[in-house]
Amino acid sequence: MKLALAGAGAFGRKHLDAIAVIDGAEVISVVGRTADATKAVAAEYGIGHWSTDLGDALALAEVDAVILATPTQMHAAQAIACLDAGKHVEVEIPLADSLVDAEAVVEAQARTGLVAMVGHTRRFNPSHQWVHQRITAGEFAIQQMDVQTYFFRRTNTNALGQPRSWTDHLLWHHAAHTVDLFAYQTGEEIVAANVLRGPLHAELGIAMDMSIQMKTTGGALLTLSLSFNNDGPLGTFFRYIGDTGTYIARYDDLVTGRDEPIDVSTVDVAMDGIELQDREFIAAIEEGREPNSSVHQVIGCYRHLAALERQLAS
């Protein structure tokens, strides 16, 4: 499996590290925003081809698939370009920052029949997989998910503290993780939703604080707090409150409500959610099937985000 990676920043490196440990998969082209930085990443990872133009990678006949870890605003157009070029595509979350663009990618996948997957990593983290297995076995039912997504980003920087060329978004990016996971874990339709936001940042023009509440057909509740103003422990913390227990997940780790560690090391073949996500993408291509977190499976999340955006606009 020959892949191209577009977006050689902080998250692109996570994918390069993941692909490096997957047998039968190789990144043969890397695409970045600036020549010097992209060339340096290619040299560091031993990748023979690099460019600042995605079209150059798509023109390589040996490229089977593309992973997009580029700025959010480019995702939809680039995903469609990959599909139209005959390449399978994995798009980092979010699929798009508008419902129109997200649905355009779904249409392109249906037209081409290629694998198109979105990086909704929470579906693949061993911690959330463990909870999902208990739910599907009928051993646990969610009463409420209480989720905190907290970062300290009062300046436009990425996860490495480097200046960003684009603006992140609490609703279309960070809320997408949890809204999709809530529907995926409960297996129910979201029937009620509400959103509140704090003041917009004077320079970035985005809300720095947000609160979202949702309810499913079965009565499960979601309470999601998001902030770019939090000066403390960073990341996302998921508290699953259920009928037979309480579990707290942070990325690939899981504890009970009493802070007792749960061993999730045997849930899957690896402990890294990004690696497991990439393994699913490659396996779906090889097996000719729809992947978990396909564009068709996650489009409902973006419909809910669009509805919340309309609430904020009104």
Is 90 exceeded by the pLDDT of residue 21? yes
Is 90 exceeded by the pLDDT of residue 59? yes
User: Tens digit of pLDDT for each residue in 92-126?
Assistant: 999 999 999 999 999 999 999 999 999 999 999 99
Q: How confident is the model at residue 167 (pLDDT cuts 50, 70, 90)?
A: low
Q: How confident is the model at residue 41 (pLDDT cuts 50, 70, 90)?
A: very high
pLDDT at 234: 83
Q: Which amino acid is at 28?
A: I
Q: What's the predicted TM-score (pTM) here?
A: 0.94
The verdict on domain 125-267 having CATH code 3.40.50.300 is no
pLDDT at 166: 53
- DSSP character string of 182-224: HHHHH-S-EEEEEEEE-PBPTTT-SBSEEEEEEEETT--EEEE
Q: How confident is the model at residue 164 (pLDDT cuts 50, 70, 90)?
A: low
Q: Which of 65-79, 88-102, 145-159 has the lowest mean pLDDT?
A: 145-159
User: Tens digit of pLDDT for each residue in 243-289?
Assistant: 999 999 998 899 999 999 999 999 999 999 999 999 999 999 999 99
CATH class of 2-120+274-291: alpha beta
* Sign of the C-alpha dihedral computed for residues 154, 157, 162 and 167 taken in this order: negative
pLDDT at 224: 98
Element spanning 3, H or E = strand 2-6
Q: Give the percent of the chain with pLDDT over 70.
A: 96
pLDDT at 206: 85
**Structural tokens at position 57:** 């990678």
Give start-end residues of each CATH 3.40.50.720 domain in the chain: 2-120+274-291
User: Tens digit of pLDDT for each residue in 182-212?
Assistant: 999 999 999 999 999 999 988 888 899 999 9
Give start-end residues of each CATH 3.30.360.10 domain in the chain: 125-267
pLDDT at 252: 87
Environment class of 261 (CB within 10 Å of its CB; exposed 0-12, middle 13-18, buried 19+):
exposed
pLDDT at 204: 80
pLDDT at 202: 85
pLDDT at 128: 98
Q: Give the percent of the chain with pLDDT over 90.
A: 88
pLDDT at 152: 84
* Sign of the C-alpha dihedral computed for residues 175, 176, 177 and 178 taken in this order: positive
Q: How confident is the model at residue 163 (pLDDT cuts 50, 70, 90)?
A: low
